[in-house]
Amino acid sequence: MASLKAIRRRITSVKSTQKITRAMKMVAGARLNRAQQRIVALRPYAVKTQEVLTSVADALTLQSEDTDGGTFGQKPIHPLLAKRAEKRAIFVVLSGERGLCGGFNANVNKTAERAWQKKKDEDISVQFVTIGKKGREYLARRGGEIAHDFPRMFEGLDLEKVAQVSSYLVSKFKSGEVDAIYLVYNDFISAMTQKPHVQALLPLPAPQREEGTDGSKAQFIYEPAPETLLEHLVPMYIDISIYRALLETQAGFYGAQMTAMDAATRNAKDMIARYTLVYNRARQAAITKELMEIIGGAEALKD
């Protein structure tokens, strides 16, 4: 059994750790509240932007088919809607800058690695664009080709920072250097649950035709012209998709960190209780031993 001094030292050490984990939990909880408000406010906007973009692209596709008999796949109505044979792809991996967040970083990194291996099996070369230190380090250790890294994106996150990422990715796609771009990030579901997700960013998904109540294709009249709308909607959709992925990652990280630090605080409390019990038993045994020695010495003097 360890000495009383060693046990006291352990109890003091665990109490210090408990103070740190409790403080980190409170900080993460406060930041989570703000991040959750931002992602909840953005989600409906992102969904509606995609719906409008799909509707406008569908209208232009129908117009192209009616005028020259072209099809969506043969004659793209926008450069970012062009689909090419996929030979080169970019995975944009979003992870945390720090650890102490449970399996948050490990889950998204393993999801990216599995998607990477799947592309390799299909003979598709993959490059990585990393946002977050943990993802960059994980992929670099496994020999992944890091095409670009965007450091400290989550500090003062705004649309200006998002524009840096989107302009880089769009330029790669337009120049033909890559044929497809994917986002890999954690969907924020709750403070305790984050689900890894792979989203195709470019090329933009082909529009899904909507049918009217009578079974005919639904058509709408747009003002201004659909071509003008599309020129604004496509960059907006890309920016909003990246921004949403960043906010989902940020909120998920704080939620995972708060949950992990809460568990660590409770574990520290249990450890303190166990060490205190061990300390009391050792102290009682030491006192009993001293009493026995005193009694034995007194009896020896009587003799």
Name the residues annotated as catalytic.
101
> Are 161 and 83 contacting, i.e. CB atoms less than 8 angstroms apart?
no
Query: How many other C-beta atoms lie within 10 A of the C-beta of residue 140?
Result: 14
Tokens of 269: 């409390």
Please measure the distance between the N-terminal and C-terminal CA atoms of the chain and give it in whole angstroms. 35
Residue 140: which residues within 8 A CB-CB, separation 6 or more?
146
Nearest to 91 by CA among 109, 107, 104: 109
Identify the three-state secondary structure at position 184: strand
Q: In what order do the strands lie in the sheet with 88-94?
A: 146-149, 125-131, 88-94, 180-188, 194-202
* Burial class of residue 254 (count of CB atoms within 10 Å of its CB; 0-12, 13-18, 19+): buried
Q: In this structure, how many other beta carbons lie within 10 angstroms of the beta carbon of residue 175?
A: 8
Report strand pairing: 125-131 vs 180-188: unpaired
Residue 29 φ then ψ, to 5° = -65, -40
Tell me which amino acid residue 209 is.
R
Residue 169, both tokens? 């990715």
